[in-house]
Amino acid sequence: MKNKIIVLGIVISLIMSLVVLTGCGNEEDKKVNVTKVGDLNLELEGALSFSEGLAPVCKDGKWGYIDKEGNTVIDYKFDAAMPFSDGLGMVLEDEKTGFVDKEGNLVIDCKYDNAGEEGFQDGVARVYQDDEWGVIDKEENEIVPFGKYYKIGAFENGIAQVESETARDFTSETGYIDTQGNEIVEMSLDNLGLRYLNDGLAVKSTAKYNDTSSSPSDTKYGYVNEKGDVVIEQKYEKAADFSEGLAAVSEDGENIGFIDTEGNLVIDYQFKNAMNFKNGYAIVNNGEKCGVIDTKGNLVVDYKYDYISSFSEGLAAFVPDLSVDEDEQKCGYINEKGEVAIEPIYEAKGIIAYGYADFSEGLAAVCKDGNWGYINYEGKPIVGKISGEEQQ
């Protein structure tokens, strides 16, 4: 049992990083109504989201992949597995990372020390070997040679941030590469404090790591365009990436509002925390409870839950009360009107924080009484022994 917990912990850490990297995103939800019930007697010890028709699940301490009826498509033989991305699934075997196709063939042997949590994106993947990062394609050609850059960020919209090793004066050069390994923004000290472009704008701080005359508390944030020109004044204490034309910012470091791509304040400073917009909605917090706003700032879900995830395929996971014992915390789902669509009867522990509970391809991975499985939009069990009773 201890080994199972350790392996699940590995997957949890991968998912957590993936959530941090991907944020809320702005892709359109594609609703898929899954009504056909599969194997409800399948006993699972862990489960992740469906992607490209398959989901990684754990049974008897090993991970494999199933379809939406619970049929085993790829045998349970890996120490960990991640959802498919770009036609390949990242797997872990004997503490080494590789990639499988949908028939379970190891198209890239488990030989790397690590890999980017996002797996393959646009035909390339970040991999880590002998303390060095590189980028490979699906034929294992080195798109970026190992060690060329000290750090390589996740590819987003075909672009990845790269960084040189930090020098003694705490300076390092930063640039951007495309999926061919071309430096589309040359390495430079001037690029420090620059994040990814979203909606044509990127957060850029005033920080200069070789400038001893200023302290971190003096750092301000603003936005630059693809040429690096400052187009929104660097005056914010906090600034998030743009998503759906809006970005969360704070001038006093405590109260958060939203600006548009012209820098206009369109939703007043009134929140203590806020997530990016996704499909027209953003999760906000008033310091006590979470609610949901639309792009006009209207409160469409009142402040009454301790946790709400971003909406995915029209539903968001929620936890009514996080003050109770962790083992007693439950999660359910609300729709975009704030109505409870699925009652909070599933375990929140170890699920919510890492994105397990989000709907994907019509199903959400849930856990009940220690058993994992999948439910559809109506909350109907589709795969897995999560009803608490043996199915006939």
Digit-coded pLDDT (tens) for 241-289: 999 999 999 999 999 999 999 999 999 999 999 999 998 999 999 999 9
> Residue written as tokens 């797996």?
119
- Does position 206 have pLDDT exceeding 90, yes or no? no
Q: What is the pLDDT of residue 118?
A: 92
Q: How far apart are the first and last CA of the chain?
A: 28
- CB-based burial label for 328 (10 Å; 0-12, 13-18, 19+): exposed
CA distance 3 to 63: 13
Task: Identify the weakest region by mean pLDDT among 174-178, 253-257, 284-288, 343-347.
Answer: 174-178
Name the band, by pLDDT with cuts 50, 70 and 90, for residue 169. Answer: low
Both tokens of 222, joined, read 């603003």
> For the segment 84-108, what is each residue's pLDDT rounded down to a tens digit?
999 999 999 999 999 999 999 999 9
> For the segment 73-89, what is each residue's pLDDT rounded down to a tens digit?
999 999 999 999 999 99
Section 106-128 average pLDDT: 96
Distance between alpha carbon 122 and the CA centroid of its chain, in Å?
17
Q: Name the percent of the chain lying above pLDDT 90.
A: 70
Judge contact between 196 and 202, C-beta under 8 A. yes
> For the segment 28-67, what is each residue's pLDDT rounded down to a tens digit?
467 899 999 999 999 999 999 999 999 999 999 999 999 9
Of 318, 315, 314, which Cα lies nearest the Cα of 302?
A: 318
Name the band, by pLDDT with cuts 50, 70 and 90, for residue 7. Answer: very low
- Does position 135 have pLDDT exceeding 60, yes or no? yes
> Residue written as tokens 């402040």?
303
CA distance 297 to 257: 9
83 phi, psi to nearest 5 deg: -60, 150
CA distance 327 to 332: 15
CA distance 268 to 343: 33
pTM: 0.85
